[in-house]
Structure 1
Amino acid sequence: MTTSDVKKHWEDRYAERDRIWSGRVNHWLAEIAGTLRPGRALDLGCGEGGDSVWLAEHGWQVVGVDISDTALARAAAEAARRGLSERVEFLQMNLSEQFPEGSFDLVSAQFLQSLVHLDRERIFAAAARAVAPGGTLLVVDHGAAPPWAQHIHDHVFPSVDEVLATIPLEGPWERVRVGSAERDAVGPDGQRGVLLDNLIVLRRSAA
């Protein structure tokens, strides 16, 4: 699948509604980043910018990346509305083929999963290389289908170990937190349920 095909898929997805995501920060990003000293952050697959804007509000200098121009325009508009444009930069690129330059104190990939082509191994390899010494790599995946998503219950989700195996690590890293994690959530029609996530928090050695 070409970049233009993948981009069209996501542009069509965002064209369905004025807003696709809630605009709220992802649970695990807030929990983990809230314990870190703010620095430079990279938000992979930033969508409409909920995480990027939250990080900027909490003192981080942020680069948010997504393939969809529509999503990025919404993210930039929200950052401007909150007076954060100088703290967050949004870049359009296909992460399966390109990756932002520089090093970051936090690299976050929140639910970077797709029904169309996404070279996660290439992306995770680049993400690990982009983490500065002493920095943190945060990867969160869906570990199972939400209880209200009946149509995808036959989908096979990767285990934590399977996801970890796709992240090549050079040099010493600390496994801060690696495992399954549950969180309470509310579905699109107000259904309450418990979601299962794969949570991977790795810290590069500062030495």
Structure 2
Amino acid sequence: MWLARRGVDVVGVDISPTAIAQARELAAASGVSDRSRFEVVDLDTGLPAGPPADVIVCHLFRDPRLYTPIIERLAPGGLLAIAVLSVVGAAPGRFRAAPGELTTAFGELQVIASGEGDGLAWLLGRRPGS
């Protein structure tokens, strides 16, 4: 909603129909339904088709198979903000990133900031271009 309130066209995806229904309700209550679209999508099957994105926010969803498609979806100069569970400062687990995973996977982006610790890894990067 924060992005939509600032004039950005937003597409949100989640596997949960409940989460998508709540997002649609919040968009309507916030007066940004005209700038936001929400869809039930199973990202385990890949990114849905769509145009290049100026901003991609990925919060607590990790699938290394999507790292390259995410980079490819970013428009030149586009921003990626990603946060995933990490083994750094936490117990290992199937859904947790290895140390340095994000900075390696998104190395072709201009990394603005990144960090790891307390079971979380995050990165803010920009795709080179205009």
Q: TM-score range by the shorter chain?
A: 0.7 to 0.9
Identity %: 27
Q: Name the structure 2 match of 1:91.
A: 39
Deviation sequence 1:40-68 (CA, Å, 0-9, x none)? xxxxxxxxxxxxx2221222110001111
Deviation sequence 1:179-203 (CA, Å, 0-9, x none)? 236xxxxxxxxxxxxx563121111
Distance in structure 2 (CA, Å) of the matches to 1:178 and 1:123: 19
Return the match for 1:158 from 80, 97, 100.
97
Q: Name the structure 1 match of 2:80.
A: 137
Distance in structure 1 (CA, Å) of the matches to 2:115 and 2:46: 29
Distance in structure 2 (CA, Å) of the matches to 1:78 and 1:160: 36
Report which structure shows greater RCO (CA 8 Å, sep ≥6). 2
Q: Name the structure 1 match of 2:16.
A: 68
Deviation at 1:136, TM superposition (A): 0.9
Correspondence list, 1:173-192, <5 A: 173-180=109-116
Q: Tell me, yes or no, if the aligned pair for 1:160 and 1:199 is still in contact at 8 Å.
A: no
Distance in structure 1 (CA, Å) of the matches to 2:127 and 2:9: 19
Deviation at 1:159, TM superposition (A): 4.0
Deviation sequence 1:92-130 (CA, Å, 0-9, x none)? 1111213231111111111114xxxxxx12222211111
Larger Rg: 1
Q: Please report the TM-score for the alignment, with normalisation by the length of structure 2.
A: 0.81
Distance in structure 1 (CA, Å) of the matches to 2:52 and 2:114: 23
Distance in structure 1 (CA, Å) of the matches to 2:4 and 2:88: 30
Deviation sequence 1:6-58 (CA, Å, 0-9, x none)? xxxxxxxxxxxxxxxxxxxxxxxxxxxxxxxxxxxxxxxxxxxxxxx222122
Q: Please report the TM-score for the alignment, with normalisation by the length of structure 1.
A: 0.53
Q: Tell me, yes or no, if the aligned pair for 2:86 and 2:97 is still in contact at 8 Å.
A: yes
1:125 maps onto 2:61 in alignment: no
- Evaluate the alpha carbon distance shift between residue 57 and residue 145 of structure 1 in structure 2; reply closer, same or farther with a 3 A threshold: farther
Distance in structure 2 (CA, Å) of the matches to 1:175 and 1:154: 26
Q: How large is the Cα RMSD of the aligned pairs?
A: 2.5
